[in-house]
A and B are shown apart, each in its own frame.
Chain A
Amino acid sequence: MTGLGLADGGGPVIPNFGHGTACLRHNHWFCPSWVHEHWGDILQPALVQHIYLTLISVSIGFAISFALALIAFRFGFLGPPLGAMSDILYCLPSISLFLLLVPVTGLSVTTLVIPLVAYTLFVLYPNILAGLRGVPPEVLESARGMGFTRLQTFWRVELPLAVPAIMAGLRVATVATISIATIAAIVLYYGLGGPIFDAINHPDIFRTELVAAGGLTILLALTADTLLALLQRALTPWSRQR
């Protein structure tokens, strides 16, 4: 593990407030010098890992949700049981789910990804399904009446019209994943949760590290949300011109 003032030989992480700047010695809320000094060895790697973790989890979660939503859309009776399943997964406390998986998948990124994927299903699956089912009946009727095949109706009408709902789900799922992923560090030092737990584990709570890593998490969530919102606007020019 990396951290501040790590004693030689990998002993317990104890803050060495005595040798830092005045800001650090007094454990102020934010010391720019520390952030500057440890951007390269602590914050940046954690940020990159966090982005990676989020991308993988949301992508896998989206693929699974999309497949499940398609099945439920095609076979209507499967909708409620699949929905209940994703609800139940969401009800499991995230910390216990991370810890439960350790004996199965070990101390690996997989152990972090599985629970995160499970949580995205809760948001993505119902959103995708609602989007596909939300196409106005008169639009479907005119499509059928004009000679669209079932597949053409799906690709040219139902799927494009579901994009706003899908994107809304994707935004919520991404922001939630960025947030929940910090908890994953309880299992494995990975992502922005690493420095956050480090800071909390100091006897006095190392404030600068907490604020820096926490702030980066918030910033990442806001950036991701904004980018997805822009993507949604680009994908659905028809929904904003009213």
Chain B
Amino acid sequence: MPTEAAELVFDEATKIYPGRDGAAVDHLSLTVPAGDICVLVGPSGGGKTTALKLVNRLIPLTSGDIRIDGTSILKQDVVQLRRSIGYVIQQVGLFPHMTVEANIGTVPKLLGRPRSWIRTRSAELLELVGLDPSYAKQFPAQLSGGERQRVGLARALAANPPLMLMDEPFGAIDPIVRARLQDEFLRLQKEIRKTVVFVTHDVDEAIKVGDRIAILRQGGVLAQYDTPQRILEHPVDEFVADFVGRDRALKALALKTLGELELSPATEDGLPRLSADTSLRDALALVIAERKDAVLVVGPDGSPLGVATREDLLR
């Protein structure tokens, strides 16, 4: 299935609730390039969920504009707009009275797709999100939390939307399953390349999932919008530095792999061997634990690529 992603632009987007002091989202301007995952993160009261719901007009804009591939959301029929955007929420919100297949087929059915098309598409999507096709005839009450969220993801993808909105999609899932779902989501995203807006309150999830991170502070003001690497290495102010945490240097190390370093030629023997896709953080942990000064980086076939010293890791 052909997949094209859309560019998403927030242009001075503002939400002010009547009768409440200050804005929920305050002149938010940022551009999410087509095919990127943009994570909205920040403390509660930062307006991240509000900002997300402005996009599919579950919450109406007070002022400013949001454009999808250049077209203002205000110029589109609201129902058509929502059908063209994938939407995933924390509590999933599957329809309890419909089978998994019918749930996945929700938007295609609204769009008038024939039943046979929906059946095929649903089987395809179940496989894509890592569920057995036998799940098609089950009801949501029969699924575990993780399985439900996979179905929620499949449902959001069913009509092949160019843009996905995900509101703390893994927030209610236990840490082990959450990590697995994050990994699978990233693998999936490599395949489907959607533009994704992803809300979380968890900095580590933001760093792991985001191509770009928008940090919102109280009152819905954008504090910093940048790649995870740059946010960790160059937080613009105290608030961002605090928010990403004191261990931001270590988090930054986790983003780079040994393969990205300039290695010195392999000479020494007796060094711990690590594959090139090991993160610098894990490599450093090993160096500290084994009291070594360097590690030997090896390729996928086990052939030595070079040596990374402690200094290389920390540079």
Contacts and interface: CB of A to CB of B under 8 A. Distances in A.
B110 A238 contact: no
Nearest to B111: A147
Given A141-B58, A144-B82, A238 B92 contact: no
B67 to A, nearest CB: 19
Given A142-B89, A241-B139, A242-B141, A147 B110 contact: yes
A160 B97 contact: yes
A241 B100 CA distance: 13
A149 B79 contact: yes
A191 to B, nearest CB: 37
A223 interface: no
Contact of A139 (B96, B110, B165): B96
Interface in B61-94: 79-83, 87, 89-94
- Report the interface size class on chain A: 20 to 34
B296 interface: no
B31 interface: no
B96 A145 contact: no
B112 to A, nearest CB: 12
Given A146-B106, A146-B110, A238 B98 contact: yes
Contacts of A148: 79, 110
A75 B59 CA distance: 22
A138 B79 contact: no
Interface in A137-162: 138-149, 152, 156-157, 160-161
A136 B89 CA distance: 13
B142 A145 contact: no
A33 interface: no
B87 A238 contact: no
Contacts of B155: 146
B124 to A, nearest CB: 19
B235 to A, nearest CB: 33
- Report the interface size class on chain B: 20 to 34
Contact of A141 (B93, B110, B152): B93
Contacts of A156: 95
Contact of B89 (A141, A157, A161): A141
Given A145-B87, A152-B110, A236 B97 contact: yes
A40 B155 CA distance: 60
Contacts of A236: 97
B213 interface: no
Contact of B107 (A138, A147, A161, A163): A147
B56 interface: yes
A155 B141 CA distance: 21
Contact of B93 (A138, A147, A160, A238): A138
Given A139-B93, A147-B80, A238 B139 contact: yes
B313 to A, nearest CB: 45
A157 B110 CA distance: 13
A138 to B, nearest CB: 4
A150 to B, nearest CB: 10
Contact of B83 (A146, A157, A239): A146
A138 B148 CA distance: 13
B73 to A, nearest CB: 13
A241 B142 contact: yes
B83 A142 contact: no
Contacts of A160: 97
B22 to A, nearest CB: 25
A142 B142 CA distance: 19
Contacts of B87: 142, 145-146
Nearest to A237: B139
Nearest to A139: B93
A180 B89 CA distance: 49
Interface string A161-204: 10100000000000000000000000000000000000000000
Contacts of B165: 145
B35 to A, nearest CB: 22
A241 B98 CA distance: 12
A238 to B, nearest CB: 4
A238 B103 CA distance: 13
A234 to B, nearest CB: 13
Contacts of B99: 238
7 contacts: A142-B87, A144-B58, A146-B83, A146-B87, A146-B110, A160-B97, A238-B97
Given A146-B155, A236-B97, 16 more contacts: A136-B96, A139-B93, A140-B93, A141-B58, A142-B94, A143-B95, A144-B58, A146-B107, A147-B80, A147-B110, A149-B79, A156-B95, A160-B97, A238-B97, A238-B98, A242-B142
